Structure 1
Amino acid sequence: MARRTDSPSRSRTTSNARPRRTPDQAERRRDPQRTRERIVEAALAEFSAKGFAGARVSEIAERAGLNKQLISYYFGGKAGLYQAILARWQEGEDAVVAGQQDQSLADLTTSYVARIPRDRDLARLLAWEGLSPDSGDAGGEHRTARMRQALEDLGRRQRAGELAGDLDPRCFLLAFMAAATAPATLPQLARSIFDADPDSEEFAQHYADQLARMIEHLSGE
């Protein structure tokens, strides 16, 4: 007698397979702006903890307390959600820069670095993007334009005497970005050096003040 080749387990798997579900109208109508916010906040936490490659849509949905199909509905999937986070970060950075043109370089440093505890996940996301080839260069074009803008501003400040004339603004900018995000990207070193919590507001303010003093010394005066 010929034996059947289909196993019971295979038959059950086939019969129980469910098609991908589109969020119903009630889900879509439930405060879409707030729903998007919850997804973005959960995704930022997940991406900053695991990078783009390690993050899972199901875990982002679980963090947000929402159906994972809503991520596809609002953002088109993980890649679209990652792009949305980068776009929001870029908008925030542009707004900060626009409001700080009249500040001295030292004061600009203090206000920027003091924000790191609030932007810790974004700083870690930036580190993941640099270390993981799977992240690609999603914000590359905007980032390049932003860095050129920053270099133009540093050139203006250098001509005004805020930065010593023998310093290369490009080297200064890279070193400053690394130093500003170090408490978020190298928290283990910060804890070992300071014996303090690098995520605390007190640490951030002290660190920001000290970086500002270092920059004041770089004026060459």
Structure 2
Amino acid sequence: MPSSSPRRSPKPQERQRDPERTRQRILDAAAAEFSAHGYAGARVRAIAARAGVNQQLVSYYFEGKEGLYQAMSQQWRQRQHELTPPGTPIPEQLRRYALEALRSPEGVRMFAWSGLQYTGPDDDPDRASRAESLADSVDELRALQQAGGLPAEVDPAALLVMLMAAAMATTTLPHVIEGVCGTDPTSPELVEHFADQVAVLARLVGLDRA
């Protein structure tokens, strides 16, 4: 019988493939755990079990729960840049954020949990990066107001909070939506319709002039 071909050494990228896959499995498991229980309720042991890895690997790749949460927050910030590149009109930004309930329900639930479990700035692992992003959005609304696009009596910061709450309502108020609309709040048809309506609301208050 002909001899079998000698085994070749794996290339560097092939040697890295399994660690990269393991790291992503941990991130996916963490998204499910954080979305189900929030940061305070999530357990590294449960994340490791979901990912099918040893608990020590979570510490090896992410240095514990806070490092893992920061890695996921960084992924979300990257998603934000992809979702609303510079020049995207505010109504369209809100529509796209509302549609994240379909594309990334875990991410939206994690954000909602961060509010439910908020106890103050000293207990908020993602405070600095989020504050910077929100400040930019408020500045954008203030500039629009100064240009005459918003009534003087409107508080840009309060308006931003209201619009963010509206965009997240299919995740944070599903029982209200089901009661009012009489339909499944997680259905793609409802989420898409609701996202369109959030954009309509933004246009009605003048945000299409930004």
TM-score tier by shorter-chain length is: 0.7 to 0.9
Give the C-alpha shift of residue 181 in structure 1.
1.0
1:144 corresponds to which residue? 131
- Aligned sequence identity (%): 40
**Residue 94 of structure 1 is aligned with which of 81, 88, 93?**
81
Which of 17, 24, 28 matches 1:37? 24
Aligned length: 192
If you compute each CA radius of gyration, which structure gives the higher value, 1 or 2?
Answer: 1
* 1:127 aligned partner: 112
1:177-216, aligned counterparts within 5 Å?
Answer: 177-216=164-203
Offset, 1:203: 1.4
Query: Among 69, 81, 95, which residue is 1:110 paired with?
Result: 95
What per-residue deviation string (whole Å, max 9, x for no partner) do you get for residues 23-58 of structure 1? xxxxx9662112111111111111111122222222
Secondary structure of residue in 1 paired with 2:198:
helix
Query: Distance in 1 between the 2:18 and 2:42 partners?
Result: 25
* Aligned equivalents of 2:179, 2:161: Cα separation in 1: 24
Alignment of 1:1-40 (within 5 A): 31-40=18-27
Aligned counterparts of 1:133 and 1:171: Cα–Cα separation in 2: 19
Does structure 2 retain, via aligned residues, the 8 Å contact 1:162–1:216?
A: no
CA change 1:109–1:162 in 2 (3 A) is farther
Residues 161 and 33 from structure 1, CA distance in 2 versus in 1: closer, same or farther, beyond 3 angstroms? farther
Contact 2:29 2:47 in 1 (8 A): yes
- Kindly report the root-mean-square deviation, in angstroms, between the aligned alpha carbons of the 2 structures: 2.5
User: Residue 102 of structure 2: SS of its match in structure 1?
Assistant: coil
Residue number in structure 1 paired with 2:65: 78
Amino acid paired to 1:150: S
The letter for the 1-side match of 2:105 is R
AA partner of residue 55 (structure 1): A
- Of 172-181 and 85-94, deviating more is 85-94
Q: Are the structure 2 counterparts of residues 163 and 203 from structure 1 closer, same or farther at C-alpha, using a change threshold of 3 Å?
A: farther
- Structure 1 residues 162 and 60, CA gap change in structure 2 (3 angstroms): same
Task: Work out whether residues 117 and 184 of structure 1, in 8 Å CA contact, stay in contact via their aligned partners in 2.
Answer: no
Shift of residue 144, structure 1, vs aligned partner: 1.1
Q: 1:66: which partner in 2?
A: 53
1:155 and 2:142 correspond: yes
TM-score (norm 2): 0.80
Q: Is 2:100–2:108's contact at 8 Å kept on the other side of the alignment? A: no
Indicate the SS of the match to 2:103: coil
Unmatched 5+ stretches in structure 1 = 1-27
Measured in 2, the distance between the counterparts of 1:214 and 1:29 equals: 48
